[in-house]
Structure 1
Amino acid sequence: MSYLDQLHPWCIIRFLPNAQNITVCRLRRRSDAEAHLQILRQMVPTATYKIVFDGMIYKPDPTKQQKFRSS
């Protein structure tokens, strides 16, 4: 996931035939996604859309040694 994608975690997905889908856009805030979705539904009422949160899962780098402070 690129840094730009991390800054825009809210996605609008359009469902296509044959169990396919496409990401229409990525936004920073859910309220922006809801407003954009409302416009999309007015423009293309026959399409099916969904808002999803594409959060990044933290995976520690195994090549780096973690340092813990002892008290």
Structure 2
Amino acid sequence: MTYKDQLYPWCIIRHLPKLQRLVVCRHRRCNDAEDHLRLLQRMIPHASYSIIFDPTLDSAEAIVKSKQPLEKPTLSL
């Protein structure tokens, strides 16, 4: 996920056949996504859309973060 995608976590997704989905657009605020969803539903009434919050990291970033060693606590006497 790019930095730009992280700035826009609210996604409108279109549901496709065979449990597939397509990210139509991304928004910074939930209100903006809701407004855009209303517009899409007026323009294409037969399509199914949802709004999701997508704060996930890229899988490669998650793997790198999980492999970093933990810092060992130091004892001070």
Cα RMSD after superposing both structures: 2.6
Partner of 2:11: 11
Gaps of 5+ in 1: none
1:56 is displaced (CA, Å) by 3.3
What is the distance in 1 between the residues matched to 2:3 and 2:69?
Answer: 21
Structure-to-structure mapping, 1:39-54, within 5 angstroms = 39-54=39-54
TM-score norm. by structure 2 comes to: 0.74
> TM-score normalised to the size of structure 1?
0.80
Structure 2 counterpart of 1:24: 24
- The alignment covers a number of residue pairs equal to 71
Answer 1 or 2: which has greater helix percent. 2
- Percent of aligned pairs sharing the same letter: 48
